[in-house]
Amino acid sequence: MILVQVLGGLGRALVADEPSHLELVQTCLTERSTPFESVVGDPVAESAGRGAREDRVDGNAVTVALGGSDRDAERVYDAYTSVGAADVASRLERRRRVVLLWDQSTNGGAARAS
């Protein structure tokens, strides 16, 4: 009986046309009329498990990297701090599985939420 349930679940997952997490974020931004762009030339953001987008909030550009897990988001955050400019910590935030890299500092210091 369990084998049948597992096979049924796998079959449904293979044929279901469910959107990815990145596609869900894109849909949300589109419905709110918030323009966004694909990330280009940022290998750290591009390495995020669930993808990344670029956006603008109150005139401040932001790269939004969606980690596949808390550990993946931590890896992206750490990668930015290790390869980024001296001021990257003041422009970087982590909120669970999402890492935000702002073009300009929004709070004068790093915000790191676990």
33-42, long-range: CB < 8 A, 24+ apart: 39/63, 39/65
Residue 98 pLDDT greater than 70, yes or no: yes
pLDDT of residue 44: 93
pLDDT of residue 27: 64
pLDDT band at 30 (very low <50, low <70, confident <90, very high): low
Find all residues with CB under 8 Å of 34, minimum gap 6, and list them: 55
Query: Between these two residues, 50 and 19, which has the higher pLDDT value?
Result: 50
Task: Give alpha helix (H) positions in the chain.
Answer: 2-15, 21-31, 43-46, 70-83, 88-91
> Count H helices, E strands: the chain?
5, 6
State the pTM of this model: 0.65
pLDDT of residue 32: 56
Q: Model confidence over 42-78: pLDDT tens digits?
A: 999 999 988 898 888 788 888 999 888 999 999 999 9
Contact 86, 41 (CB under 8 A): no
> Could you tell me the residue ranges of all domains in the chain?
20-113
